[in-house]
Structure 1
């Protein structure tokens, strides 16, 4: 079984709302996403004549805001509000776009639960269907530990991936 930490931290400099983040086995989920998409982005960026940047990879996703998620127990146990369900796969967003609009660039996953486990699998980027299932996961958690972590998220003063002096974010390639 893997370990999970649920995080809540401010959206940029905004203190009015916070967002959800995750650490799986001590590693931010956005790092897993960066690793899984590095070669895919490299191909697209080389074709467009752009250099790959690590900041671009790490900042392609942001968290879902607390106000968006509504009921986190339902959402993160695989039963989100209908507007969050991908009708073709049943997947739900774990991360949104770093621009603040979750649906702009979400990281979707299938969440399956049993009485003993919660599994995140079949990670996808819906705007890059040609990428298929991303090479990350499945992540399997003991359900009791998962629910305990979800009930008591770790509250952080800032985004755990941002340096004290963040650089401007790079624009992503949306169109092909």
Structure 2
């Protein structure tokens, strides 16, 4: 069983606006997305970062951000509501639909599972090598109902 932690943090572009952050097993979901897409980006952006591996790493790391708390304030259950393709992360520009990280959400009375992670704007990438993650539902509901608030992007 995986551990989940939800938190809110200020959006860098508009610090008074908070975003939903997610950690799975102590690791930010954005880091999982960066690892899963790094080589896909490298092939797609061939030649653009030949001499600057650090710039590619930063581009890949910053491709996603959390979902806006205001956009999802009335529905923390969004993260556990069964769906074939639900956004778990959004674009760093602040428009979550611009570059979302989508996943299948399945739930039972005792578990919540996120699987089949994908990028809808790159269907040729297929299913990304993230998860599946299965969480104990009670712990999931507790952390999503009362997320910690951090002063910076964690």
TM-score under structure 1 length normalisation: 0.81
Cα shift readout 1:45-104 (whole Å, capped 9, x = no counterpart)? 11xx2115111111000111111113233311126xxxxx7xxxx311000000111111
Asked if the contact 1:78–1:110 (Cα under 8 Å) also holds between the matched residues in 2, the reply is: no
Q: Which residue of 1 aligns with 2:122?
A: 128
Give the Å deviation of 1:159.
0.7
Q: What stretches of structure 1 of length at least 5 have no aligned partner? A: 80-84, 161-176
Cα separation, 2, equivalents of 1:121 and 1:72: 20
Asked if the contact 1:63–1:96 (Cα under 8 Å) also holds between the matched residues in 2, the reply is: yes
Distance of aligned partners of 1:15 and 1:44 in 2 relative to their CA distance in 1, 3 Å threshold: closer
Give the secondary-structure state (helix, strand or coil) at the position aligned to 2:78. Answer: helix
TM-score under structure 2 length normalisation: 0.92
Q: Report the count of equivalent residues.
A: 149
CA RMSD of aligned residues (A): 1.4
> After the TM superposition, which parts of structure 1 deviate over 4 Å for at least 4 consecutive aligned residues?
none
Q: What stretches of structure 2 of length at least 5 have no aligned partner? A: none
Match of residue 101, structure 2, among 94, 101, 107: 107
Q: Which residue of 2 aligns with 1:154?
A: 148
Give the Å deviation of 1:13.
5.3
Q: Which runs of structure 2 are paired with 1:1-176 in the superposition (5 Å)?
A: 1-12=1-12, 14-46=14-46, 49-51=47-49, 52=53, 53-78=56-81, 90-160=84-154
